[in-house]
Amino acid sequence: MKKLLFGAFALSMLAACNVGEDHLLNQEQTDDLTSGSSVTQRVCPSEDIRKEALANNSDLMARFVDNESKTEKFIEDLKMGRVLADGTVEIPVVVNVLYRTSAENISDAQIASQIATLNNDFGGTNADVNKIPSEFASVAAGDTKIKFRLDRVIRKSTTVRSWRTNDAMKKTSSKGQDAFKPANYFNIWVVGDMGGVLGYATFPESAGLWNDGVVIAGKYFGTTANAPYNLGRTATHEVGHYLNLRHIWGDGNCATDYVDDTPTQQDKNFGKPTYPQYDLCGGVNRSIQFMNYMDYVDDAAMYMFSAGQKSRMQAITNASGARSGLRIY
């Protein structure tokens, strides 16, 4: 059973990394970048960005530990029948579109397609839900009771050619756009290009802070022609992080994602694996849940959250959770 070890994990965060110049490049230094190229392999730096933030901000670390403690308690209370399992919440979404060219100024229809994908994936009504293997059907999340409602679209022209993962797009002072009431609204920044990065997210310890939200490269936002990341699942994956889900492999060899019903696996998966796939961890050869939204497979190869992941997300949006502010707008 996967268990949450606060002390050990906190220490590993503190020792993991220091902020380096390479991670904080100014977005103006873009003339030597090749922009507009397509990503061939899914890259999500959310966990790496989180490690840096936690290692260098004790207040953020304290929030993280508190969130995980409350999440663990919520899950235990669910098991004991002490709280309602419904936990329904409708999250108001603000989409901040930053564009340099007309092609980067994505259409309302493309934005609507992304909101629809989020509602289908988190509601368990996605068209490919029938692909879940019978082995994992019993632990599939189904309806997570988390819904998304587009509140507003903010469009802004910018001269920035390509963005880094240093949150510059989230500040008007650096030619980006300030978040709209991040304590009560879920902000998404859609940008023209981020090199080899599809998107990244903040975690619940950043709830309400100036940089809280998700960033997605425009060509991978919503339903597009940019296969294999053309079904809007980049946002589904990053919103998972925003709602306190880790990568399914725990960002380490046979590491933990703190979810009991996602089998431990050796590493991330890419492309379109063929079921079943087996990984050897701790001397046990397990069939792995590579079709989970929190792995790195292609959009068409991911189509489920687990019940354990649902509980973690409900815990964070619960009335006592770090993202309870999303219920008030």
* CA–CA distances in Å: residue 170 to residues 137, 188, 219, 250: 39, 10, 19, 27
DSSP state for residue 223 in the 8-state scheme: B
**CA quadruple 242, 246, 248, 251: dihedral sign:** positive
R_g of the chain, CA atoms, integer Å: 19
State phi, psi for 119 to the nearest 5 degrees. -65, -35
User: How far is it, in rounded angstroms, from Cα 327 to Cα 329?
Assistant: 7
Count of Cβ atoms closer than 10 Å to residue 284 Cβ: 11
For 312, how many CA atoms within 13 A lie in the half-sphere containing its CB? Answer: 24
Please, what is the Cα angle at 195 between 215 and 15, to 5 degrees? Answer: 70
- Point out the catalytic residue in the list 52, 68, 104, 238: 238
Beta strands at 278-281 and 284-287: parallel, antiparallel or unpaired: antiparallel
User: How far is it, in rounded angstroms, from Cα 56 to Cα 258?
Assistant: 23
- Roughly what angle, to the nearest 10 degrees, separates helices 58-79 and 46-56? 120
Site of tokens 């934005």: 111
State phi, psi for 323 to the nearest 5 degrees. -105, 25
> Does 104 qualify as catalytic in the annotation?
no
Q: Is 300 helix (H, G, I), strand (E, B) or coil?
A: helix
Burial class (CB in 10 A: 0-12, 13-18, 19+), 150: middle
Query: Which residues participate in catalysis according to the annotation?
Result: 238
